[in-house]
Amino acid sequence: MRSLQLGCMAALISFVSAPGASAVEYIANGGFELGSFASWTQNPNPVSNTSVSGSSPYAGSYAALLSYDAGGPNGLASLSQTFNDVAGQTLTIAFAFMSEGGSPSSFDVSFNGGIVRDFHTGNHVPVSPWTVYSYTVLATGHDTLQFNFNNRGQTSGSPPHLDTNFRLDAVSVTGLGPVNQDVLTAVPEPSTWAMMLLGFAGVGFMAYRRKTKAALAAR
């Protein structure tokens, strides 16, 4: 009987403690804490007036300062990262963004070339404090997250424009890691359920017998 009880408890503990799938981070150096654009691709390379700075980051010690005034009014620079993931899984894109304003200017976020969020209104991106944004997308197995920007804040005088900055920090793309098939089959099979039920019944019966013996002895 004792071995049956122990087997029952072992099966129950194994079932309850089975681990779940863990989240995987696909972006490297998303907080720019290396003090550089390591793991990121700039286009053009390097992007003029764009840098990693310790001035007013959203989190940690650094943030990216993004500014580009070349290539004409419609010219765009980009900062991107390409990574391998699991096709078909849902990914969560998150980042912190701040705009100092300036007109004209533009800033958008794309995933595999499709726009996820366009921040400009009319011909500029309004002033905004640090704000965290989050979106969900579907993984294809080999994906690219890209930030496109142009910042030509107009002023009077000469030269006729003055660069203003967008700030980017805490960039993250997460998804569930590979599913462990052993975890999926951790639900007890019928034979295990039978052992567990018999074990519980045995525990109840033993408790009943002790109670009965105690009552008889007390008479």
Show me where the domains of the chain are located: 2-19+181-217, 23-176
Evaluate if residue 119 carries a pLDDT over 50: yes
Q: What spatial distance separates the first Cα and last Cα of the chain, rounded to whole Å?
A: 29
Evaluate if residue 133 carries a pLDDT over 50: yes
Evaluate if residue 174 carries a pLDDT over 90: yes
Cα 89 from chain centre: 13
Tell me which amino acid residue 25 is.
E
* Structural tokens at position 64: 């990216």
Task: Return the residue matching tokens 């503990």.
Answer: 13
d(CA 19, CA 102): 50
d(CA 33, CA 25): 15
Q: What is the pLDDT of residues 63-79, one digit of tens each?
A: 999 988 776 556 889 99
Domain 23-176 is in which class?
mainly beta
The helix or strand, by DSSP H or E, that contains position 215, with its residue range, turns out to be helix 190-217
Evaluate if residue 108 carries a pLDDT over 90: yes
Highest mean pLDDT among 71-75, 112-116, 177-181, 200-204: 112-116
| pLDDT reported for residue 152 | 72
Confidence of residue 15 (pLDDT cuts 50, 70, 90): very low
Q: What is the pLDDT of residues 188-209, one digit of tens each?
A: 556 655 665 666 666 565 665 6
Nearest to 65 by CA among 47, 54, 87, 50: 50
Question: Are the beta carbons of 149 and 68 closer than 8 angstroms?
Answer: yes
Question: Are the beta carbons of 8 and 196 closer than 8 angstroms?
Answer: yes
d(CA 152, CA 104): 6
Evaluate if residue 9 carries a pLDDT over 50: no
Identify any residues that bridge with 23 across adjacent strands, giving them in sequence order.
176
**Maximum Cα–Cα distance across the chain:** 109
Q: What is the pLDDT of residues 25-64, one digit of tens each?
A: 999 999 999 999 999 999 999 887 899 999 999 999 999 9
* The CA-based dihedral angle spanning residues 118, 54, 132, 71, taken in that order and rounded to the nearest 10 degrees: 0
Q: What is the pLDDT of residues 81-91, one digit of tens each?
A: 999 999 999 99
| Whether the model pTM is above 0.75 | no
